[in-house]
Amino acid sequence: MLALILVIPVLLALRVGALVLVTLRRRQRHQVRLAVARSSKSAPPAPAQPLRAMAVLGSGGHTSELIAVLSGVQRSRFSSLTYVVAETDAISRPRLEAHEATLAAAALPKASACPVSFVTLPRSREVGQSYLTSVATTLRATASAVAIIFAQCPDLLVVNGPGTCVPLCWAAFARRLFFMRAPKVVFVESFARVTRLSLSGYLLYPIVDRFVVQWPLQAQKYPYTEYLGTIC
């Protein structure tokens, strides 16, 4: 109980600090975009370099939506693609392997020579697990997330809300706090969330680089989101 009392103020302080940092960073980025747009309207766009991408899978609907999101991206944009899957998720990896095999067999442009790999991450908390025992599993998941991000350090991290993605995104944010090269984090909120964010969305809203929603009501309620219509 004493440990919990000590931890809560620290978490609140980190959240407030993250909100301040991300607000300043987003305003600065918006100003830079405006300046670039004004100064280079006639200049041809520079060719984009392939990115080392990482995407986080989740059970059920999260994986289906992530497949839909990535299906709209040309694989030539990626130099590699790493999927992160929870240790106890026995469904998502076979689904993604079947999806990748289908793309490769059809010889689609989206399945260009982009190596695909999988890494596993412990869950912070299983369904029905007590909060007391989840302290140890959360610490283990956080340590594993930090190890993955610091070892691979992708250029792009794409997530859509499974609990597995939370420690990974905070590990990416930690690199930025220590002035290290950090992946750009894109959060795509679930189509099922119409007016309010998911719990993962609330936890990551202050720190991600882009927060995409699929309903206009959310874009009106949360000023730093981007409404791009229905994408999955």
* Residue 22 to residue 165: CA distance in whole angstroms: 19
What is the fold of 49-123+136-227?
A: Rossmann fold (3.40.50)
pLDDT digits (tens, 9 = 90+) for 77-108: 999 999 999 998 989 999 999 988 888 777 65
Mean pLDDT in the chain?
81
pTM, 2 dp: 0.79
Interval 62-67 mean pLDDT? 92
Question: Which parts of 87-175 are beta strand (E)?
Answer: 116-121, 156-159
- Torsion on CA atoms 16, 19, 21, 23, rounded to nearest 10: -150
* Residue 79 to residue 77: CA distance in whole angstroms: 7
pLDDT digits (tens, 9 = 90+) for 172-223: 999 999 999 999 999 999 999 999 999 999 999 999 999 999 999 999 999 9
Is the pLDDT at 34 greater than 50? The verdict is no
Residue 23 · residue 15 · CB < 8 Å: no
* Residue 188 to residue 66: CA distance in whole angstroms: 9
